[in-house]
Structure 1
Amino acid sequence: MKAIGKIKIAMVVAAMVFACGSANAQRWHRHGYHGHVVHAACMAYPTHVTVVAKPVVTTHISNRLNQKERFNMAMAYLKSNGSLTVKQYSKMTGLTKETAKAELDAFAADKSKPIVSTYNGKKQIYLLRKRT
């Protein structure tokens, strides 16, 4: 039993020596450094890992305007300019483009609201519904 244990220890030591030697040889040739290079596995002293915690970045969820106020802004803009794009609505309200598009589509889908969606070439625009 003792002989097998010693053989195992000798094999582990030999493997570490070979690994450290090949790592040093590769590093010399790859980086052009010919001085003494110590591989991390061959260091006699313990290495330390420092964990740096970064603050979690959150987006500002609350908006200063509610949906009714944003709808009134869209109506005022449409009455004065005739058409509204997602980009313009996004800038006016402070919403992301995805949220602005979803909200304008919801306004257009609601038949009780006087906003309709159409396309001007490839660009989707929103207009006031024609009165009949």
Structure 2
Amino acid sequence: MNVYEEFIEGMKQNNLNKEAIIDVLNRYVDGHDFLQRLENFKNKEGERREYRGVIYSDEYEQDDDEYFGRHHVLFYSGNGDEDYDIVNDEELYPYISAACEFYIRKHAEKEKIIKELLLKIKETYSHSQSPSE
């Protein structure tokens, strides 16, 4: 089993099955700048490339044509109209957490910093919604 398949299998074992999110996170975990990607999630900074990226709903106003809900994150991977997944802030954390656990298994020496960033990410997304939303 290659690393990509191993990552997908790990996500499935955690009942995480949104393909665009898995694809984007797999590329992040497999890249050399995973720590920077986690910083970006902590700061709600998306990355947009031609065929892959992360977009935060905070970037749009409610009356914009592109608006896709409040406190949501859109992941896209591919060039088709259906090659995306949208999750709310609460649904996002398990994906990032599973990606971090996978990364730690491959890079045990970075466990402390990854767990610190993961805690900050959890705080960021747990405070972004009020109970009435």
Q: TM-score range by the shorter chain?
A: under 0.3
TM-score, structure 1 as length reference:
0.24
TM-score, structure 2 as length reference:
0.24
Higher RCO (C-alpha 8 Å, min separation 6): 2
Larger Rg: 1
